[in-house]
């Protein structure tokens, strides 16, 4: 079974300061991990993905995440927050090895607030 | 724009009724997934179709069903609606199964009164 824990339901940072959104996962297999972002009244947009290649993954809009197997973590970071980053962020795991067909397992989300 | 389309955007209906939500995947994608997003349950996987065949079920109620047609579009049917079915319903598509990233549509907001 797979699961995801997002350690913070809300994170507030000032514009221009670093962002850290924390995620821990549990998986029986070698997982694929994703971060998605959801802006108010919008669908989900893929930020980045990890699928067992490089452990440091770069995504869109300056975000990146590091896969740490020993810590079962996949934290999302950005060096400098922008007002447009205010949104809900979801850490997501899929541990099917390609032959399976399960959907994604989502964390409960972290609401990112950017203070001017 | 993800390339996944969903109709309608909004749907308001009464308890006991039946509705159909429609999804068109990205061009070339064979997999379609359905998800429900509600305040109390978060985002939950409902069902997955691959090239017309059901491949996996998640937390989908027996009152709900889905199908994927030969042109790869999919429909989610919700019947005997209850107030608790009010939610955002998302469709996602991917090129394969399992570990492939999924691309989400804009969602259908269902309100049951």
* Residue A48 distance to chain B (closest CA, Å): 9
Residue to test with chain B: of A2, A28, A44, most B Cβ within 10 A: A44
A62-112 residue pLDDT tens: 999 999 989 999 999 999 999 999 999 999 988 654 444 567 888 999 999
Query: So what's the pLDDT on residue A96?
Result: 58
What would the pLDDT profile of B8-29 be if each residue is shown by its tens digit?
A: 999 999 999 999 999 999 999 9
DSSP per-residue letters across A28-84: SS--EEEEEEE-TT--EEEEEEESSS-SEEE-GGG-EEEEETTTTEEEEEESS--GG
First to last CA, chain A: 41
Per-residue pLDDT averaged across B78-92, rounded?
A: 96
**Mean pLDDT, chain A, integer:** 89
The more confident residue out of B73 and A1 is: B73
- The predicted structure's pLDDT at residue A16: 97
Determine the pLDDT at residue A99: 40
For residue B98, the model assigns a pLDDT of: 61
- Bond from prior residue into A15 cis (ω within 30 degrees of 0): no
Say yes or no for a CB contact (<8 Å) between A43 and B33: no
Task: Please report which confidence band the pLDDT of residue A29 belongs to, taking 50, 70 and 90 as the band edges.
Answer: confident
Confidence category of residue B66, pLDDT binned at 50, 70, 90: very high
pLDDT of A100 reads 42
CA atoms within 13 A on the CB side of A50: 26
User: Residue A101: phi, psi to the nearest 5?
Assistant: -145, 25
Higher pLDDT pick, A2 / A74:
A74
CB contact under 8 A, B43 and A106: yes
Tell if the CB–CB gap between B96 and A98 is shorter than 8 Å. yes
Give pLDDT, residue A3: 86
Q: How far apart are CA B1 and CA A26, in angstroms?
A: 31
Residues of chain A that touch chain B, judged by Cβ-Cβ distance less than 8 Å: 32, 34, 36, 42-46, 49, 51, 90, 94, 96-106, 108-109
């Amino acid at each position: 079974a797979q699961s995801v824990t997002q350690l913070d339901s809300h994170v507030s940072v000032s514009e221009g300061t670093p962002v850290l959104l924390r995620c821990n996962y549990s998986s029986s297999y070698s997982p694929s991990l994703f971060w998605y972002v959801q802006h108010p009244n919008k669908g989900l947009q893929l930020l980045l993905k990890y699928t067992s290649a490089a452990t440091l993954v770069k995504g869109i809009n300056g975000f990146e995440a590091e896969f740490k197997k020993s810590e079962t973590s996949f934290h999302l970071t950005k060096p400098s927050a922008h007002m447009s980053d205010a949104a809900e962020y979801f850490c997501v795991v899929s541990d099917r090895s390609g032959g399976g067909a399960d959907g994604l397992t989502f964390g409960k989300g972290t609401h990112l607030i950017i203070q001017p | 724009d993800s390339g996944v389309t969903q109709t309608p955007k909004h749907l308001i209906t009464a308890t006991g009724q039946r509705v159909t939500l429609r999804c068109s995947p990205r061009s070339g994608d064979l997999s379609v997934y359905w998800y429900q997003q509600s305040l109390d349950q978060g985002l939950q996987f409902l069902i997955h179709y691959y090239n017309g065949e059901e491949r996996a079920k998640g937390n989908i109620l027996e009152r709900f069903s889905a199908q994927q047609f030969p042109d790869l579009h999919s429909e989610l049917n919700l019947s005997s609606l209850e107030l608790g079915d009010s939610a955002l319903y998302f469709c996602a598509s991917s090129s394969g199964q399992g570990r492939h990233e999924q691309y989400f549509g804009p969602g259908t907001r269902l309100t049951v009164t």
